[in-house]
């Protein structure tokens, strides 16, 4: 829960860098919540009301943490749009999200590992 609230504190912060742990903990929290909301929506015959509201509410923080994660790998936030390339785009973005960040400071700031260590 700690990483989820850290991302929400940086709700629309697109500058700086995000560690892999920050990104993946946010994603791993969102997936079960979305699944539970889908089940609730189907049970209440309201699909996609609650799921859609949750996904809309978390869209900006999700985009912001993704951009900061790309910055950690030395890539521009514009690389997010690679996910729209059919077949390979989503896989390539997944590889970028799982890649080790730059250990040294880059154009987007100091390494988040060095700052937290």
Q: Which two tokens stand for residue 74?
A: 């030395």
CB-CB contact of 14 with 78 (8 Å): no
Q: What are phi and psi of 99, to 5 degrees?
A: -75, 150
- H helices of the chain, in order, are 2-9, 20-44, 49-57, 59-72, 88-98, 112-116
pLDDT digits (tens, 9 = 90+) for 20-68: 999 999 999 999 999 999 999 999 999 999 999 999 999 999 999 999 9
pTM: 0.91
């Amino acid at each position: 829960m700690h990483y989820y609230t850290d991302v929400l504190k940086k709700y629309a912060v697109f500058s700086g860098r995000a560690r892999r742990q920050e990104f993946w903990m946010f994603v791993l929290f969102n997936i079960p919540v979305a699944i539970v909301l889908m089940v609730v929506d189907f049970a209440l015959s309201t699909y996609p009301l609650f799921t859609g509201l949750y996904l809309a509410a978390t869209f900006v923080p999700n985009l912001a943490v993704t951009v900061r994660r790309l910055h950690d790998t030395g890539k521009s936030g514009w690389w997010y749009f690679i996910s729209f390339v059919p077949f390979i785009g989503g896989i390539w973005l997944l590889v970028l999200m799982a890649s080790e960040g730059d250990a040294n400071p880059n154009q987007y700031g100091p390494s988040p590992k060095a700052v937290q260590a």
